Structure 1
Amino acid sequence: MAAQKGRDLLLKIDSDGVGTFVTVAGLRTRTLGLNAQSVDVTDMESAGEWRELLAGGGIKRASITGAGLFRDAQSDALMRQLFFDGAIRAFQVTIPDFGVIAGPFQITALEFSGRHDGELTFDMALESAGELTFAAV
């Protein structure tokens, strides 16, 4: 696979709760992390006393972080409202030449910062709140 443009990693939010997705505008950086917790089932009879893991066990989770500028009134207002409500909403992450990961997320952090001679910026963090799906492109 050839190198990809970072700006093509898109974060979209279900703007109306019924599947109308809009891109979260103003993001300069975006990161998607996928994690799977392992379950250790090692016991005294494990071969050579090597650790053994339970296949398919544990908890899977995804986290999304982003930073940027407020540029789009609709998505900005929606992100703030979802944070203050503690609501869970469907999001999509489009990864170029890979696919789309979609599912419910909750905004767990929303930080604002600004320099006296610069623009207002924000940082946000989202955590998965249910089963995610993957669709290859």
Structure 2
Amino acid sequence: MGRFCGPTSFSLTVAGLRARQIAFNAETVDVTNADSAGHWRELLAGAGVRRAAVSGAGVFRDQASDLRLRQIFFDGLIETFQVVVPGFGTIEGPFQITALEYRGDHAGEVTFDMSLDSAGLLAFAAA
């Protein structure tokens, strides 16, 4: 189980995640030209746009954390979040909540699904 902390202005663990996914992506910059060896594609190292997407499902810690994240979503704010994944590491930086879904049944707890997209420079610390 992972831990979702944030925004840092809130500085509390707001949810325990039962399922999660982290995706790191980078666009490439093609610099292939007529002089490229063997006409193989060449890429420019260190260039391109990088992004991270985090999604998870779980339960909120309390009503206040649910309210805070819901307000961030409806206001379209970008906040600094921290995602802790045991055995993997910690990712921290600016994110925007891009999806927030709730579900539950009459006899059980209310659960949520949430997606975050990076909105700036991220820091990663391995576990």
Common fold: TM-score over 0.5? yes
**AA in 1 matched with 2:7:** D
Between the aligned partners of 1:94 and 1:29, the Cα distance in structure 2 is: 13
Please tell me the root mean square deviation across aligned C-alpha atoms, in Å: 2.0
TM superposition score normalised by structure 2 = 0.85
State the match for 2:54 in structure 1.
64
Q: Which residues of structure 2 form unaligned runs of 5+?
A: none
2 CA distance for matches of 1:70 and 1:95? Answer: 17
Given that 1:26 and 1:72 are in contact with CA atoms closer than 8 Å, whether structure 2 keeps it comes out as no
Matched, 1:13 2:3: no
| 2:27 pairs with one of 37, 44, 48 | 37
Q: CA deviation at 1:115?
A: 4.4
Q: How many residues align?
A: 127
Which residues in structure 2 correspond to 1:1-137 (within 5 Å)?
7=1, 9-14=2-7, 17=9, 20-115=10-105, 118-137=108-127
Distance 2:64 2:47 in 1: 40
Normalising to structure 1: TM-score of the pair? 0.80
